[in-house]
Amino acid sequence: MALFSRVSGSVGLITLQNPPVNALSAAVRQGIVDSVKRALSDPEVKSVVICGENGVFCGGADIKEFGGNMSGPPLIPMIHAIEAANKPVVAAIEGSALGGGLELALGCHYRIAHSKARLGLPEVSLGLLPAAGGTQRLPRLIGVPAALDLITTGRHITAAEALQLGIVDQVTKQSTVNAAVNFALNVAEKPLDARRISTFPCPHSSDLDALFEEAMQKVQKSARGAIAPVACVQAVRAAATQPYNQGMEREKELMATLFTSGQARALQYCFFAQRAVGKWRMPNGACWDTSKPRPVHKVAVIGLGTMGRGILVALAQTGLSVVAVETQEMQLMEAKQAVSGMLERGAKRRGVVPTLHNITYSQNIKSVAEVDLVIEAVFEDMALKEKVFQQLSAVCKPGTFLCTNTSALDIDHLASQTGNPELVVGMHFFAPAHVMKLLEVVYGPRSSPQAVATAMHLGKKMGKIGVAVGNCRGFVGNRMLKPYIEQAFFLLEEGGTPEKIDQALEEFGFPMGVFKMSDLSGLDIGWRVRKGDGLAESSAASQQSPRIRDGRRYSPLGDLLCEQGRFGQKTGHGWYQYDKPGSQLARSDPWLHSFLEGYRAQHGLVARRIDQQEVLERCLYVLINEGFRILEDGIASGPEDIDIIYVFGYGWPRHRGGPMFYAGMVGLAKVLERLEHYHQAHPDVPYLQPCSLLRRLVASGSPPVNTWKEVIKKVRSQL
Ligand SMILES: CCC[C@H](O)CC(=O)SCCNC(=O)CCNC(=O)[C@H](O)C(C)(C)COP(=O)([O-])OP(=O)([O-])OC[C@H]1O[C@@H](n2cnc3c(N)ncnc32)[C@H](O)[C@@H]1OP(=O)([O-])[O-]
């Protein structure tokens, strides 16, 4: 709702009240309409201020209403009525003015912002466009290029940038409402014609066609198939080329196509899923609201390879005091130099002072004795990690949380090396760790809820999206990746090429196909794991059939490439060739193609044509199937956990909502039918066998993804 009051004698104050972000629900819109009417009809009121309760102006339209029947007064006429008012209306912007919130402010005649406020039109990230006049008013106010930038990226800007762009008229460090009320008193009798943005001509650049052509190319390149950024450009074009009313018609028309699109549904699902993962729950019932984190003031990072350095940078940037330990002197010196450089560059970009002084470097593990939490990031080798955990358990003060940055190893086994296994959790960061948003917080059977809460809290402080998951080989992300990569190898054996398979996945929306990704991360990583598992054996030494392991189909293609020293980008050759070691531009490699031909001939395989549909169905559905197994095993507590892990850690296109949401969009029955089909064709591939949870969900009528948790609970109790 919205509260009306009269302040300073003649100022009507309208306060939006819908915690926590004052979203424009039906009740709030009704409240604004009623309050504006009251202010305009009250002869004592000479000017009006609109503000939000609890230090937040407005987070925009109420996204929760989008799925249901929209009732209450519509936003557009409400904003028009404010703009058309014959008394000045001033927006007092504190906290956030986003989406419909900023559109409301643009309908006001003046805008005063607090210096800490954030403004933006982030609708594009929800698969929409600013359809309450945002695409028409903003270009008229700040010009086409700046409006295009804000509307197509959805980025939030500071009050200082908003002032510089001309979006706000004044920035204050004091009480925004007081400043706005004083401002309103001063402008009470001033004429308003020059303050109604919809009447402004849109500032024209000399070559509009070229400008929009360039903008369209830019969004198409970065959108990876998302439709909203394209619609945003089209809407702004209407502002630049048509009168306001026609522009509004175009905005409405474009919004209508977006509003009901699957992409909008997927993106809005992601918005809520991102927030839902913070409300974690362990199988024993412990959860986010009953488990309080312990304060962490001092942290240590052990091992300063690539991952350790990234983690160190992310920690130092939070302002925490960090002890960085690396036993090799050379490595320590190199790491110190690299980390200082990363911190300095990061600080320069953000216009802040680098936090180099937060870090103490040491070669001695005993220097972690006084820290509250340790993140171990040594080489991915169980024997080495065991030793480190034994040492940590001996040197750390009682109660220190011990976290490991392993990407697949057994957390519980590591916990068993310490005197207090309840203090041990996994903190699985993704490379580069100071950039990538995802953090898997992995609890073992003995991890305490407080250890999970503390790791999740620390992750949030580091700007990460933490997802709490159970302990199993590869946890959630890497466990699902295994069958996905395996299918890609099988497709190569059957006639595919790295180029065709990658193209299908990139057209789906991944930034990189599976083979380019593998070249980037290094083929030797998977090879080392397969060797450890006894799967990858030198072809000469192998006693067993090269294409079968334990009765299951196996592809040794990756191993054979590694035997040739082809480790990917770092060696200049992998699934592709590169100009030189370390280059990033992948080129098709004739050697690889003739190698594949030779391999097929050697194993009596006849290449067939593999189309895009088969690539997508086999690679994606097998990954989804493993996701269902993870849900069945209770490793992830809901589909949102898996989807957020894939969107933020593995490049799954956000506008497709994550693998589990996508399965729901495709139709669970269809996913099941295709898995059955492929399993029949490849009975020696167990990953293709549909898991029982998927079957049960289909049998129970394929309920929508947001109700799976309930179904899973029931299914799990019956399994
Ligand atoms: C015709 C229409 C045209 C119009 O152009 C369309 C729009 O405006 S589209 C909208 C364009 N606007 C946007 O895209 C802005 C979206 N919002 C944000 O970016 C951030 O929430 C914000 C920066 C505001 C606060 O960040 P923070 O302080 O870290 O806090 P937080 O993020 O944890 O959120 C706290 C709680 O509020 C909830 N909630 C939040 N916003 C909305 C909403 N609009 N609605 C409903 N709920 C919303 C959120 O789910 C969470 O709920 P819970 O149950 O407690 O988990």
Summarize pLDDT for 88-113 with one digit per residue, the tens.
Answer: 999 999 999 999 999 999 999 999 99
Contact assessment for residue 511 and residue 224, using Cβ atoms and an 8 Å cutoff? yes
pLDDT at 11: 98
CA atoms within 13 A on the CB side of 632: 16
pLDDT at res. 496: 97
* Ligand 1 atom nearest residue 56's Cα: 24
> pLDDT value at position 20?
97
Q: Is the dihedral of CA 626, 627, 632, 637 positive or negative?
A: positive
Using CB atoms within 10 Å of the CB of residue 30, give its burial: 0 to 12 exposed, 13 to 18 middle, 19+ buried.
middle
d(CA 69, CA 323): 55
Ligand 1 neighbourhood includes 94 CB (under 6 angstroms): no
- Which residue's CA is the nearest one to ligand 1's atom 33? 275
Which residue's alpha carbon is at the smallest distance from atom 36 of ligand 1? 20
118 CA to centre of ligand 1 in angstroms? 13
pLDDT recorded at residue 656? 97
User: Among the atoms of ligand 1, which is closest to the Cα of residue 276?
Assistant: 56
How far is Cα 144 from Cα 214, in angstroms, rounded to an integer? 13
Query: Is 123 known to be catalytic?
Result: yes
Q: Tell me, what's the pLDDT at 538?
A: 63
Q: What is the per-residue pLDDT for 532?
A: 81
62 C-beta closer than 6 A to ligand 1: yes
Pick from 359, 420, 363: nearest CA to 393: 420
Q: Please pick, among 83, 94, 123, 493, the residue that the annotation labels catalytic.
A: 123
Q: pLDDT tens digit string along 180-213?
A: 999 999 999 899 999 999 999 998 777 899 999 9
Residue 317 Cβ < 6 Å to ligand 1: no
**pLDDT value of position 223:** 87
Beta carbon of 20 within 6 Å of any ligand 1 atom: yes
Ligand 1 nearest-atom number relative to CA 64? 46
Instruction: Indicate which atom in ligand 1 lies nearest the CA of residue 278.
Output: 56
- For ligand 1, atom 18, name the residue with the nearest CA: 59
The answer for residues whose C-beta is within 8 angstroms of residue 461's C-beta and 6 or more apart is: 318, 320
My answer on whether omega of the bond before 432 falls inside 30° of 0, hence cis, is yes
pLDDT digit string, tens, across residues 109-154: 999 999 999 999 999 999 999 999 999 999 999 999 999 999 999 9
Q: Residue length, the chain?
A: 719
Q: Supply the residue whose CA is at minimum distance from atom 14 of ligand 1.
A: 122
DSSP 20: T
CA of 291 to the centre of ligand 1 (A): 25
Is the Cβ atom of 248 under 6 angstroms away from ligand 1? no
Torsion of CA 212, 213, 215, 218, to 10 degrees: 170
Residue 719 has pLDDT above 60, yes or no: no
d(CA 632, CA 476): 12
Q: Is the CB of 131 under 6 A from ligand 1?
A: yes
More confidently predicted of 427 and 532: 427
pLDDT digits (tens, 9 = 90+) for 160-188: 999 999 999 999 999 999 999 999 999 99
Q: Which of 21, 116, 279 to mutate to test the pocket of ligand 1 (most atoms within 8 A of CB)?
A: 21
Nearest-CA residue for atom 45 of ligand 1: 62
Range of weakest confidence among 269-283, 648-662, 704-718: 704-718
CA nearest 514: which of 465, 589, 586, 613? 586
Cα–ligand 1 centroid distance for 464 (angstroms): 18
The arithmetic mean of pLDDT across residues 640-646, rounded, is 98
Q: Residues 388-432: pLDDT tens digits?
A: 999 999 999 999 999 999 988 999 999 999 999 999 999 999 989
CA of residue 59 to ligand 1 center, whole Å: 5
Locate the ligand 1 atom nearest the alpha carbon of residue 275 and give its number: 56
Instruction: Choose the residue to mutate in 29, 58, 62, 63 for probing ligand 1, maximizing ligand atoms within 8 Å of C-beta.
Output: 63
Cβ(498) – ligand 1 distance below 6 Å? no
Read off the amino acid at residue 318.
Answer: T
Write the residue with the smallest CA distance to atom 20 of ligand 1.
59
- Which stretches of 108-169 are DSSP H helices? 134-142, 144-153, 159-165
Please tell me if the CB atom of residue 103 comes closer than 6 angstroms to any atom of ligand 1. Answer: yes
Does residue 352 surpass a pLDDT of 60?
yes
Give the pair of three-digit tokens for residue 446. Answer: 């003995």
Given a cut of 90, whether residue 712 has pLDDT beyond it is no
Calculate the average pLDDT of the chain: 95
User: What is the number of the ligand 1 atom nearest to the C-alpha of 75?
Assistant: 1
Minimal-distance CA residue to ligand 1 atom 31: 275
CA of 82 to the centre of ligand 1 (A): 23
Q: Which atom of ligand 1 is nearest to the CA of 61?
A: 8
Asked if residue 716 has pLDDT above 80, the reply is no
Q: Is the pLDDT of residue 539 over 60?
A: no
136 within ligand 1 shell (Cβ under 6 A)? no
Ligand 1 centre distance from Cα of residue 24 (Å) = 10
| Ligand 1 centre distance from Cα of residue 674 (Å) | 37
- What average pLDDT does range 238-249 have in this prediction? 97
Ligand 1 mean position, distance from CA 317 (Å): 26
Catalytic member of 94, 103, 626, 640? 103
Looking at ligand 1, which atom is closest to the CA of residue 74?
A: 1
Q: Tokens at residue 316, please?
A: 């130092």
Confidence of residue 241 (pLDDT cuts 50, 70, 90): very high
Query: Cβ(122) to ligand 1 under 6 A?
Result: yes
54-63, 291-300, 526-535, 598-607: the lowest-pLDDT one: 526-535
Q: What is the distance of C-alpha 214 from the center of its chain?
A: 27
Atom of ligand 1 nearest to the CA of 98: 12
Domains and CATH numbers, the chain: 2-259 (3.90.226.10), 298-475 (3.40.50.720), 497-602 (1.10.1040.10)
Output Rg (C-alpha) for the chain, integer angstroms. 28
Regarding the beta carbon of 126 and ligand 1, being less than 6 Å apart is answered yes
Q: How far is the CA of 263 from the centre of ligand 1 (A)?
A: 18
The Cβ of residue 581 has, within 10 Å, a number of other Cβ atoms equal to: 12
